[in-house]
Structure 1
Amino acid sequence: MNPKDNHLSASTTLLEEKQPVDLKEEEQGIEPKGGRKKIRRHSEKRDFKHEETYHEELMDRVIHVNRCAKVVKGGRRYSFGALVVVGDRAGQIGIGFGKANEVADAVKKATESARKKMQRIVRNGDTIPHEVIGEFSGGKVLMKPASPGTGVIAGVIVRSILEAAGIKDVLTKSLGSKNPYNVAKATFKALLQLKSRDEVLHKRGKDIPLASQPITE
């Protein structure tokens, strides 16, 4: 008998003895018969609806974009820095800064940074509870409460931050540096200094009036 025929018959016998693989066992991560490797198939479902709702609730606005040029051997290399404010128009606000070689990447970094640094501020309806001054480096911003219907009397940078925080009636004045970064951070510091009437009374050790206390049953 030809040795080639013996080799073919032996390989045919091995193929007949090999059992079919159960696909259900593979999906469950069970090792099938025949010594094949485990195969795990995971079907992860992302909740895109929740992510879209989260982004729709927040308002993000680019306050300032700065371009920086670095002179190199082949010419000039540009980079961009973006300052972004994020708020829910209900008293929660954050400011972030991002830098990248493209404007879109810089804005994305700044937006992510602002969302991580969001803090809640105190409001009195649509205005602020009291007069306050915020300072940061050379920037200095004065804010005063205003009657309903006054609107936001402020510059472009301060207006963007106040609108993101949900403040609709306020009087402001920038008294220091005109640098956008200093003005924005001075405005943010001023908003963080705001305190409610109950907080001031509690700090002074006085009793809070019954009218302002929450009703508990």
Structure 2
Amino acid sequence: FLGVKPLIEKLERRNAKEANLPDESFLEPSDSESDEDDERFSSDSIRRRVDEFDRKCKRQSELLRSFAEAETLDDAHKIMTKIDKFEQRHLSLPLEYRVIGDMMNRLKDSTGKERFILLQKLNRAVRLMECKEAYDPSNPANFGLIQHQQVDSPDDVIDNAGFDKEKQMIQGESLDDEDEEFNEDKEKDDMLIEKLNAIEKKIEEKLADLDHTFGKKGRVLEEEIKDLVEERNSLTDKKRRPMYRKGFDVKVIDVNRTCKVTKGGQIAKYTALLATGNYHGVVGFAKAKGPTAKIAIQRAYEKCFQNLHYMERYEEHTIAHAIQAKYEKTKIYLWPGQMRSGMCAAGRTVETVMYLAGFSNVKSKIIGSRSPLNVIKALFIALNAIETPKDVEQKFGRTVVESYLL
């Protein structure tokens, strides 16, 4: 009665049609030269993941069997608690699917206006989940390795090294000691954290000694500290695996060079601003600094995919209504355009970001500062403030139609 049968039949027909296609049709272009160097796609890693999943299923079946054979209510309650913790940790269902299930249960008893609003929410939630699954960061098929030279790693890798314990405290008590640990990489991570902590302690001790040491001994201590820092950076570089997402395109918006004059000479720094998008509503940007332009662009490239936004497109080509936004001294105006009217953008920055987001018919105007970073931030504020017809329907509980139908 939900009216999803036609959608199911459509998906079955599409799957049957795709089953007859050769495997080459599913290959997507990648920035990396090959996937042979990636350990995740090797036969051993795939077999390891399959064995890990089999062990999880066997453990769950054992817990369910022991729950069915429990003699007292107390034993059944303990086993049920253990099952809940196990499924929450290893076989957890995404929160979005739980929300969709709750809305479907509410839809059975709803009528009138409440039923209409629930249908709209369900439709939007399903579309959002399809978009998330297409670019799911936990799916290895959506990722590849960035081919580049190793550079100094950011300090937040070390600062967040103990995040697993904080996450465990937030989620609650862990499973009993008798439960298996299915993550084989945890031991390697623990060893790496121990090495990093030991190196950090040595660096702190030598820095404390350096305050009271002068002459040749002081220079020797400085060299030892440099060696320890290089060792620490090499360890974090091995752990860090910068990724990109397939289907996304990255454009360089601006590269700025600054120079600091010191007694020893001039120190140059570069700032890179990049934007990324998949031409289907998902867009993001990032800014990074580095001693050279190449390193700055590389760092911004890695940060781009940590700042993604989904922009709703009206009729898949423009915005729903006119909007204006302001960021510091920059004010931007956006107007929707007719089909095939083209992009009348107020500069290369706005045009690049709008094309990456999938907008093809939008007019824009900028008043005030035209700094690329300010323009991008004002543009994102404006795009996030746009209300689609579905948002208006949910806000007022009324059906939105075209004005010529009134």
TM-score where L is the length of structure 2: 0.39
Out of 177, 180, 185, the residue aligned to residue 369 of structure 2 is 177
Please tell me whether the aligned partners of residues 392 and 400 of structure 2 are also in contact (alpha carbons under 8 angstroms).
no
Please tell me whether the aligned partners of residues 284 and 307 of structure 2 are also in contact (alpha carbons under 8 angstroms).
yes
Give the match for residue 310 of structure 2: 120
Please tell me whether the aligned partners of residues 326 and 378 of structure 2 are also in contact (alpha carbons under 8 angstroms).
yes
- Residues of 1 paired with 2:288 and 2:365: CA distance? 27
Out of 54, 71, 77, the residue aligned to residue 267 of structure 2 is 77
- Residues of 2 paired with 1:84 and 1:200: CA distance? 33
Identify which range, 48-57 or 59-68, moves more after superposition: 48-57
Q: What letter is aligned with 1:164?
A: L
Provide the secondary structure at the position in 2 that maps to 1:109. Answer: helix
Post-superposition offset of 1:66: 0.8
Post-superposition offset of 1:153: 1.0
Is 1:47 the counterpart of 2:41 in the alignment? yes
Q: Could you say which structure has the larger radius of gyration? A: 1
Name structure 2 gaps, 5 residues minimum: 1-37, 43-139, 146-243, 402-406
Out of 143, 147, 165, the residue aligned to residue 338 of structure 2 is 147
Measured against aligned partners, the alpha-carbon deviations of 1:164-215 in whole angstroms (never above 9, x if no partner) come to: 1010011000112111111111111111112211211221x223369xxxxx
Measured against aligned partners, the alpha-carbon deviations of 1:98-120 in whole angstroms (never above 9, x if no partner) come to: 00111111112212222101010
Q: What letter is aligned with 1:201?
A: E
- Residues 130-141 of structure 1: pairs in structure 2 closer than 5 A: 130-141=321-332
Higher fraction of strand: 1
Greater RCO structure (CA 8 Å; 6+ sep): 1
Out of 194, 200, 208, the residue aligned to residue 392 of structure 2 is 200
Measured against aligned partners, the alpha-carbon deviations of 1:68-102 in whole angstroms (never above 9, x if no partner) come to: 10001122110000111111110001111000111
Name structure 1 gaps, 5 residues minimum: 1-43, 211-217
- Residues of 2 paired with 1:138 and 1:172: CA distance? 17
- Residues 55-66 of structure 1: pairs in structure 2 closer than 5 A: 55-66=245-256
Higher fraction of helix: 2
